[in-house]
Chains A and B, each alone.
Chain A
């Protein structure tokens, strides 16, 4: 995960998240490139989902 120049998104900088199966194999990757605002919304969304899920399942 890094914040730098994206490859595809038309942004100067983006948060890039690589989901990799094997980091040494270029084809085994799913990537997302997010603007800073989208990245922050994703963080908030994850925290909210975790919090709701923990409450629902009494974890």
Chain B
């Protein structure tokens, strides 16, 4: 069901270490109860495209929240703040998990929520989605959109990102949908095959779709890599997945 009336606003929620984290939150107008989704932005930060995706979820009946994972690097314009975060080596995984879990709790505390929360992330946010689905008990379903470095070589691990998310696969606590492009190199088709192998090994509930003729970030309507046919099909899979696993 689509909702024409939405409310979208900036809110603050408690995150890692008790910090107040700014977030963009959108919800359908109506009594609910509605399922919730945490939307994790990509490396370029808390940008207009991710906020548009947040509103898309609200349009289709979800309470959606997009935490600004670079809140501590601000205040400032999102592009400048993202540059500071990037120069520092990206947001630390521990801090991101605290913020993402806090965003899920924020949804769980609103009176019009149905009790279920999903998580979706794009690019580096896809990696963080995998990590959140494995290391937090906050979620009922997850969608990893082309998350790079779920598999990492030792030289790709840093103080801020110390463990490859795939190493936590045994702890995956909710069904996982993965969306990938077969022309992507981060993750490459081989990386995706290794993820499947690991998920199978641990008997996890997952569904992966790899789209022909699509590369990294094929949902981005303002970039040359946008693939409307594949993106439309993949968005359909997202809403089927959340519709199935987040029903109240």
Contact = CB atoms under 8 A, between A and B. Distances in A.
B117 to A, nearest CB: 27
Interface in B60-87: 73-84, 86-87
B55 to A, nearest CB: 19
Interface in A1-17: 2, 4-8, 10-12, 16
Looking at chain A, what size class is its interface with the partner chain? 10 to 19
A18 B84 CA distance: 10
Nearest to B82: A7
Interface string A19-46: 0100111110101000000000000000
B225 interface: yes
B73 A26 contact: yes
Contacts of B76: 26-27
A26 B75 contact: yes
Given A5-B44, A11-B224, A31-B79, A23 B87 contact: yes
A26 B44 contact: no
A54 to B, nearest CB: 31
A7 B47 contact: yes
Contacts of B220: 12
A23 B78 CA distance: 15
Interface string B126-162: 0000000000000000000000000000000000000
B48 to A, nearest CB: 10
Contact of A26 (B77, B222, B224): B77
B43 interface: yes
Given A5-B123, A12-B216, A26-B81, A18 B87 contact: yes
Q: Which of B74, B80, B86, B224 has most A Cβ within 10 Å?
A: B80
A31 B45 CA distance: 15
Interface of A: 2, 4-8, 10-12, 16, 18, 20, 23-27, 29, 31
